[in-house]
Every structure is written in C-alpha cells, then in structure tokens.
Amino acid sequence: MTETRKTWLITGASSGLGKALAEYVLDRGDQVVAVASSTAATTELASRYPQTALAVRLDVTSAEDRAAGIRAAEERFGGIDFLVNNAAIDFVGALEEQEEADYRRLFEVNFFGAVALTRAALPGMRRRRTGVIVNVSSMDGLASLPANGYYSASKFALEGFTEALWQEIEPLGLHAMLIQPGSFRTGIEHRTKASGAPIDDYEATAGAFRAVLDRLTPEMFPGDPVKAAEAIYAAATVPDPRHWVPLGSDAYRRIGAKLDQLRAEFDAGKDLALSTDFPGSADNAVL
C-alpha cells in the first residue's frame, strides 16, 4: 500500500452508482471495501482487484454487520478515508396508501443505516484527523413528488443530518457532503415497488406515478452512472469539498425550480415573518 492510496467504503456497491463508483475508484488505484447485502456482484469485483478490493456482506440495518464492515476496513487497509453512504431503497404510492412496514424499512435503509455507519466511521476519522463522509441524497431530497413522499422524506432527513454534520466536523479537519443525483440508468426501475392498495381519490396524482412504473425504460433515465462516478470522485477528493453536488440535467432543473419557488414564497412572507417577534427582540436572537 502506498502512502497516497486512499480507502473507500461504499455501500450499495453491487449495482448502480455504488458499483460504478467502486470500479472507478479501483481503476484510479485506490482501495475499496465494497459492501452490499448480497456479495455476488461485489465478490466478482474484488476478484478483479485482489490487492485493493474487499467484498463484505453488509446489511446497513444490522448493527453487527456495520461493526464488522468497519472492522474489516480497518484490519485490511488501516482505516477509512471516504465513507460513501449510497445504499437506498424506494417504494411508491400515496402517503395514505403505503404500508407502514415498507416506509419504516425505507427509513431504516436510507436514513438510519447511513446515520449509524457515519457514527461508526467517525471515531477513526477523528483520530487520524482526515476523512470525508459522502452521503448520496437525491434531487428528491430537495424537491418532493406525489407517490414518492416517504423516499423524499428519508432523503430530506439525510440532508438535514449531513448539513449539521459538516458544521460539527469541519473544525476537526473532516468533511461531509451531499450528492444529489437525478434519474440515472442504474436499473432502479426493476427494484422500485409499489406499496399498498391504490385509493381511487389519488388516481390523478400518486396513481399516475404508479402507472408509469410499468412503462419505464432505460431511455427515460438521462444520467450515466460512469460519468456520475467520475464526478463524485472528483468532488470528494478536492481539498475543500463542496457541500451540495447535484448530478444530472433533471436534478439541476428540478432543484433549480424548487429553489426559485422557495425564494418566491420566502420573499412574499417577509413582512408576516417579521411581524411575529416581540418588539425589539430581533437583535438578541440566539441564532
């Protein structure tokens, strides 16, 4: 192992953006702990890079698996320089339609799994005073849609967590950042399932989204995972990483539209917001 070689732990590395990033990182000469709930694809990847890749079975919702994954990275490569929380699942359906077991599972994977792995990786990063947490959010993490509300909520939560995180760890020499991909050709159309029984009153909103599931084709996803991997690597390895990194033309468009809408509502509400203070108290605000 050379001094300049870095170690990446990437969740959800068996397919999609996670697999593309793992391959890109390995091609660049860095080391990868490729983790997923199934090791079929990650074992094949590791066999092509026997000196620099390690495949670990890791369900991000399992405390035992998380601890074993961190331990494996430390024992094999001496620690983690980049933690990429990429693993995620999705269910679609109106908020009233979806089954509680499904949306709770979604939060366990998309939010609580990422939180727990971050907390597990931070002690080693703090000791070495180096490390980057890369949390893969989504354009849905800033701009929600009907039928995808629970997925969006999990990504909104990840965004809030990460925004606080970078403020806490940057004084220690560490960094945290959010990747906000749009629709990439990762095969997600085959993994996304509808949850719950349809309710007729939502036919024009969530129902329209459900109907699209049966007609999705790769051509409807403009994003190239290989180009995304190159962009993520470049964004994460600079000395002072950006905090928000949208990827894809659709993400740039949707997030931009949301920011414009938010700014218009924010500006329109200025007088109302200021009218609710105690007289003369604004200068003493704690924040």
**Annotated active-site positions, please?**
14, 137, 151, 155
* CB of 230 closer than 8 Å to CB of 21: no
Kind and range of the H or E element at 106?
A: helix 100-107
In this structure, the number of other CB atoms found within 10 A of the CB of residue 281 comes to 8
- In the sheet where 7-10 sits, what is the strand order? 53-57, 31-36, 7-10, 82-85, 132-136, 175-181, 244-247
Q: Tokens 């983790």 identify what position? A: 35
What are the φ/ψ torsions at residue 178 (nearest 5 degrees)? -115, 130
CA 180/CA 161 separation, integer angstroms: 14
Contact yes or no for 8/32 (Cβ under 8 A) = yes
Alpha helices in 175-247 (DSSP H): 188-191, 206-213, 225-236
List, in sequence order, every beta strand (DSSP E) within 98-255.
132-136, 175-181, 193-194, 244-247
Which DSSP helix (H) or strand (E) runs through 48?
A: helix 40-48
